[in-house]
Structure 1
Amino acid sequence: MKTINHLYTLLRPYLALVFLLLAIFSISRLALLLWLQQRIGDINTTQLFLGGLRIDISTSVYLSVPVLVVVLLSSFVGNSVMHRINRFSTIYSAFVVTLVVLMELATPAFINQYDVRPNRLFIEYLAYPHEVFSMLVNGHLATLVVSVVLAAAAFVIAKQYFTRTGRNMQESRSFFSAILLSLLVLPLVALAARGTLGHRPINPALVYFSQDALVNSLTLNSLYSVAFAFKNMSSEQGAQQLYGTMDENEIIDVVKQESYKASFVSEQIPTLATNTPFNQGPKKNLVIILEESLGARFVGALGGVGLTPHIDKLYEQGWGFDNLYATGTRSVRGIEAVMTGFLPSPSRSVVKLSKSQQHFSTIAQILANQGYTTQFVYGGESHFDNMKSFFLGNGVQHIVDFDDIEDPQFVSSWGASDVDLFRQADKELVKLNAQDKPFFSLIFTSSNHDPFEIPQDSVELPEGFSSDNPARDKAIMYADKALGEFITTAQRQEYWQNTVFLVVADHDVRVYGKEPVPIKSFHIPAVILNAGVQKRDQRLVSQIDLPVTLLSLVGVDAPTPMTGLDLTKEYPVERAMMQYYDNFAYIENNTASILMPGKKVSYWHYDKHAKEQKEVPEDASMKVISHKALAHVLFSSMAYQQQLYRLQD
């Protein structure tokens, strides 16, 4: 009995940390579940909590390993050293508790924005502390202050608690106790950390049980979710590891067939093909306006709540797409689609990946090779999300960002306002037009980005309009107003006559829903102006179709590896594809095949008017669609890894 008491006293600091972490994780999960009850509906709470407990035990044991090492070492060191390592154990334990508390406190705000726990997006934003801190201070100050105060309190309380738990360690340590602890405890710790007796250690797939990404993320804790995302980012997990494999030649054959190109011109670059352009006359200039965070649900012309009267007007003037879908949930994914036409994948956007920083096909590179002057205009800092590096390495010759905006009248957390941005963009286009060569310009807005900072009294919500987020809705109206003013100005300028304009969103302001991929949240506006086409296009189309179509409209017939469709032509099928965390959706006509980790596939009836999509049973025709889905997502990974997405030397 005395030996057991000695062992317990010796282990007490370690056990205290493990059980305190488990308590924090469980309380946080319960609170989130109560908060989100209306959103997630009826779920198997027993399965959720049991799966969560497995993840929490593994996380807690891993985080507590340094304290266990201190416990085992304590029997082999003198009192002075013992005092120092015991102090380290106390400070470390308090720090871990504080970190866990801070992560759980940050979770509700992250869920509000992205409909899942913190994940790889959380990590990617940490690379830009200035922008993130400014966004938090200006848009989420109360949350930030409360989180910091509670985290500080957690540190003080935890430090006092762990100081008490380690007081009697010195009297209980002995060589015999250390050996006994090693024999009894280490195997149990290893098993608890591993989380399973199976071939592979515990991972999210072992505890996921729902097709709702939010529900599945609740089985994790936020620190584990971020750590797991970081691990996957470091190895950039290939699509084949998530969804299954296919013969490379078959992958290429399927992708080539579904791109409906007439003539492929290279064995080394399998999708490199020519396309007969719509414009058979002199080459036109091209301007792409990429609107930040603008979902179709806000656009009156698309059946939304009607906060964009200027975009609605553009739909009457040009070639408006009623059924176009983004490929992802981040700006870099939208840039990837619109600038490169590259297929989405479960890895990061090619804008941020190392192998695509040079010799990667972009619309800017294609046009530069055709003698165009190419430019990127942004109101913030162009290094954000690695845009500057990617653009300069792949065809963009000139970058205009915050430091180049002349006398900005309003500066937000993300840079100059859209009004200032467009004022500068007009000046840049006038200068480009004065040159004796065609030009391309990508203009990327930022006013409609959390924390939605705009000039005071610049817009007012319509009378009687009910808003759950007035700051966001006003920012949408402000961004729309700035765009409308710019188009009005551009129409009076000389450059307008020979320039094709595309206005398109990068993604919706947030993505949420119970489906494995909430397709409705990927619906975005897009309208092409001044191209000789005026119509409302009802076809199902994807962001990756836009660069191919634009090249056709400006009159460029150079070979490209883009697999998107030239929408000036008609095709026997309509399709779109999108990536939502680890889930990949491929929609063909009215059926969506959704690939999920572990080679799981589900099928859904696609109806853009339905509030939620309806899952349907598998049949032979749907298997064909899932085969196409697998080929496309595998090709994305293969093309990046083997550097197949490039132009001819």
Structure 2
Amino acid sequence: MDQVITVPTSQRVKTKLGPLLPLLSFVLIDLLILSLSRFMLSIWQSERVFTVNDYEQIFLGGLRIDFSALGYLFAPALLMVIIATLLHQTRLLRLPLKIYLVAGSLLLLFFELITPTFILEYDLRPNRLFIDYLIYPKEVFSMLFGGYKLEMVTTLLVLGLAGKSLVLAYNRLWRPAVKGTFWSQITLQLLLVCLLVLGARGTLGHRPINPALVAFSNDHLLNDLSLNSAYSVAFANKQLKNEMSSADYYGPMDTQTLLSEVRRTLQDSQADYGDPLAPTKTMHTSPFPQRKKNLVILLQESLGARYVGKLGGLPLTPNLDQLMDEGWNFTQMYATGTRSVRGIEAVVTGFTPTAARSVVKLGKSQQNFFTLAGFLAQQGYHTQFVYGGESHFDNMKSFFLGNGFQDIVEGADFDKVDFTGSWGASDEDLYDQADKEFTQLQEKGKPFFSLVFTSSNHSPFEYPDGKITPYDSPKQTRNNAAKYSDYALGQFIRKAKQSNYWKDTVFVVVADHDSRVHGSSLVPVRHFRIPAVIFGQDVPHKVENRLASQIDLGPTLLSFIGASGEHPMLGNDFTQPLKADQPRAMLQYDKNFAYLKAGKAIVFQPHKTPQTFLLDSENLVPTQTDARLTKEAHAYANFGSLAYEKGWYQP
């Protein structure tokens, strides 16, 4: 009797699947990578994750997002299998399919490996910021080599080991021969196409899945943990291409209603808005017309209130603290965002924040867009930007030169540089050059406006030895960098007070944003509070405890220097009377927008109903809806995008 050879069921299944076997296996491998990463991140952030009742939504929503991401990732691989099957050439698939599957898995793994570092810096998964930084490889790699060597080495080692393991796994899984009829193979493959399409869409609804569909918490990071980092970056890239307006996120508002709400809340109730092409442009009259002062803005990199002793922070800024005792100290100043370009946008243009990129980087705002530089240039000022790095970074050079800045002095132009870090010349070198520029401009007898932007207080926090007594160790920490930056500021102020330009200049020190904005709320309000102090020979000491925004600095500074004229800025002029409920601030945290006013905060999230909160020591406490304030907030949330699209923000 002939012996019957029984083929194991698993072997028969493998043979029938053929080249689909490694594809399906890699789906499971990638799903395991993403799920394990999400679990480990959740354990790491357990104090925030497991204190909410519905934390399981992180994993349930995460599975939906992962299936969607894998659906898009594996669609080209499945297409290759289908084409090879139709041509009866499945053996030719081995190498291209291997390259695609292994590379795709490594890409997913790479984004998960860099996620902890990104969360430490931004309290979010990699998103559009990751894309923005790709444009500047020199600065980014210099920063990475300067402060993230261990993270880089670890990532490369893990990727190398994973790559080798994935190649071995693929080789064991590859089955060129397929048992079964041609039509059974095609039927199975078409079934998989349907499953991939369903997985990629993530829903049977009209619109495919997006981050809003899996958002469940007031903690922005918890919602981000429901994503995976490759999906987060891919979704951000898609949005960058579309540059959606705020109305797409927060809901539309009739244009006339929006303008009525904005105008109703502006400081000058008798203002005349005579230009329909610039519907917020109106006359600004300085209460000090006899003045014609120079204006210097000292924009401080990443200096949140928590680093400033006078604002209840760490004792790292004795020189800034002293300035606050001499000048006009804004104790409740709030940044509009978390990036330098957002701070530049607010301070230099007075523009309200949006869910899109800063106008510094958008195409339509590269010319004919209002800035303080353009305004003052028309009044005979020499206008300049002084920066220790390369001014092309974040598109600053193009934006500035196209909108009123006549002169750009960057690190390569400095007369002397004693210390160079990843982001350019040290703050001491920057201030030395600024002092030379101001001295020369003063001697020419022409008023000047200068924006001076520091960079030492930026990761990887490099600064020269022997200048300060470190606050903590190791040397390159945020606290030490903030302390050094303040040291350099103090050196400059002492020199400026002895200069020929001191008596004719109004200065302001203001931060662009806080460093490492994070917190378990929709918008971590406390991390938007920043220092701001106006000072100079003719600036009296005053402690300003009213709520203020970076967009208020433009109108206030124009008044201080005696500059009058028409402009479109919406900020409050703190040299003029303000009603008790007039002060407000606008905060953009990724896609969330917060409007602070009269002890309340209205928070808008994409495609969700706006929420009303009470502000309790900068914490958001849910309360009943304030319909009137929500309508006002909605107008401001949508204003920036509409003004940009319609070209309202003209000089």
CA distance in 1 between counterparts of 2:352 and 2:264 reads: 15
Q: Secondary structure of the equivalent of 2:531? A: strand
Residue 102 of structure 1: CA displacement? Answer: 1.0
Query: Which residue is 2:6 aligned to?
Result: none
Q: Pick one of 498, 514, 521 that aligns with 2:520.
A: 514
Q: Secondary structure of the equivalent of 1:255? A: helix
Q: Secondary structure of the equivalent of 1:264? A: coil
User: C-alpha deviations, 1:134-187, integer Å up to 9, x for none?
Assistant: 111110100111101111221121122112222x23344753234212442222
Say whether 1:443 aligns with 2:449: no
Code of the residue aligned with 1:51 in structure 2: it is G
Query: Which residue is 2:568 aligned to?
Result: 561
Query: Which residue is 1:354 aligned to?
Result: 363
Q: Contact 2:595–2:603 (CA<8 Å) still a contact in 1?
A: yes
Residue 461 of structure 1: CA displacement? Answer: 3.2
Q: Pick one of 583, 586, 591 that aligns with 1:582.
A: 591
User: C-alpha deviations, 1:572-622, integer Å up to 9, x for none?
Assistant: 222111100111000112011111111321122114x45x3322222xxx2
Q: Pick one of 50, 63, 67 that aligns with 1:53.
A: 63
Q: Contact 1:413–1:453 (CA<8 Å) still a contact in 2?
A: yes
Q: Pick one of 142, 145, 148 that aligns with 2:153.
A: 145
Say whether 1:73 aligns with 2:83: yes
Say whether 1:257 aligns with 2:261: no
Query: Which residue is 1:136 aligned to?
Result: 144
CA RMSD in angstroms, aligned pairs only? 1.7
Identify if the C-alpha distance between structure 1 residues 78 and 579 changes in structure 2 by more than 3 Å, giving closer, same or farther: same
Residue 274 of structure 1: CA displacement? Answer: 0.8
Unaligned ranges ≥5, structure 1? none
Q: Contact 1:265–1:274 (CA<8 Å) still a contact in 2?
A: no
Query: Which residue is 1:157 aligned to?
Result: 165
CA distance in 2 between counterparts of 1:486 and 1:294 reads: 17
Q: TM-score, normalised by structure 2?
A: 0.95
Q: Secondary structure of the equivalent of 1:570? A: coil
Say whether 1:546 aligns with 2:562: no
Q: Contact 1:10–1:172 (CA<8 Å) still a contact in 2?
A: no
CA distance in 2 between counterparts of 1:128 and 1:182 reads: 42
Q: Contact 1:13–1:67 (CA<8 Å) still a contact in 2?
A: no
CA distance in 1 between counterparts of 2:180 and 2:93 reads: 14
Say whether 1:33 aligns with 2:47: no
Code of the residue aligned with 1:629 in structure 2: it is A
Q: TM-score, normalised by structure 1?
A: 0.95
Q: For 1:310-459, what aligned pairs fall within 5 Å after superposition?
A: 310-459=319-468
CA distance in 1 between counterparts of 2:16 and 2:622 reads: 55
Residue 3 of structure 1: CA displacement? Answer: 8.6
Q: Contact 2:601–2:620 (CA<8 Å) still a contact in 1?
A: no
CA distance in 2 between counterparts of 1:367 and 1:255 reads: 25
Code of the residue aligned with 2:134 in structure 1: it is L
CA distance in 2 between counterparts of 1:470 and 1:306 reads: 17
CA distance in 2 between counterparts of 1:133 and 1:474 reads: 22
Q: Secondary structure of the equivalent of 1:586? A: strand
Say whether 1:22 aligns with 2:31: yes
Residue 66 of structure 1: CA displacement? Answer: 2.1
Say whether 1:191 aligns with 2:198: yes
CA distance in 1 between counterparts of 2:72 and 2:200 reads: 6
Residue 431 of structure 1: CA displacement? Answer: 1.1
CA distance in 2 between counterparts of 1:566 and 1:98 reads: 53
CA distance in 2 between counterparts of 1:556 and 1:267 reads: 24
Query: Which residue is 2:4 aligned to?
Result: none
Q: Secondary structure of the equivalent of 2:31? A: helix
CA distance in 1 between counterparts of 2:172 and 2:96 reads: 14
Q: Contact 1:336–1:349 (CA<8 Å) still a contact in 2?
A: yes
Say whether 1:62 aligns with 2:72: yes
Residue 520 of structure 1: CA displacement? Answer: 0.6
Query: Which residue is 2:5 aligned to?
Result: none
Residue 285 of structure 1: CA displacement? Answer: 0.6
Query: Which residue is 1:623 aligned to?
Result: 627
Query: Which residue is 2:120 aligned to?
Result: 112
Deviates more, 1:170-179 or 1:286-295: 170-179
Q: Secondary structure of the equivalent of 1:176? A: helix
CA distance in 2 between counterparts of 1:546 and 1:174 reads: 74
Unaligned ranges ≥5, structure 2? 1-8
Code of the residue aligned with 2:642 in structure 1: it is M
Query: Which residue is 2:238 aligned to?
Result: 231
Identify if the C-alpha distance between structure 1 residues 182 and 93 changes in structure 2 by more than 3 Å, giving closer, same or farther: closer
Q: Secondary structure of the equivalent of 1:598? A: coil
User: How many aligned positions are there?
Assistant: 636
Q: Pick one of 98, 103, 116 that aligns with 1:90.
A: 98
What percent of counterpart residues are identical? Answer: 47
CA distance in 2 between counterparts of 1:126 and 1:13 reads: 32
Query: Which residue is 1:644 aligned to?
Result: 648
Deviates more, 1:248-257 or 1:172-181: 172-181
CA distance in 1 between counterparts of 2:198 and 2:608 reads: 27
Q: Contact 1:7–1:181 (CA<8 Å) still a contact in 2?
A: no
Code of the residue aligned with 1:136 in structure 2: it is L
Q: For 1:291-310, what aligned pairs fall within 5 Å after superposition?
A: 291-310=300-319
CA distance in 1 between counterparts of 2:192 and 2:159 reads: 31
Say whether 1:276 aligns with 2:285: yes
Q: For 1:203-242, what aligned pairs fall within 5 Å after superposition?
A: 203-242=210-249
User: C-alpha deviations, 1:476-526, integer Å up to 9, x for none?
Assistant: 000000011101101100111111001000000111111111111000000
Query: Which residue is 1:489 aligned to?
Result: 495
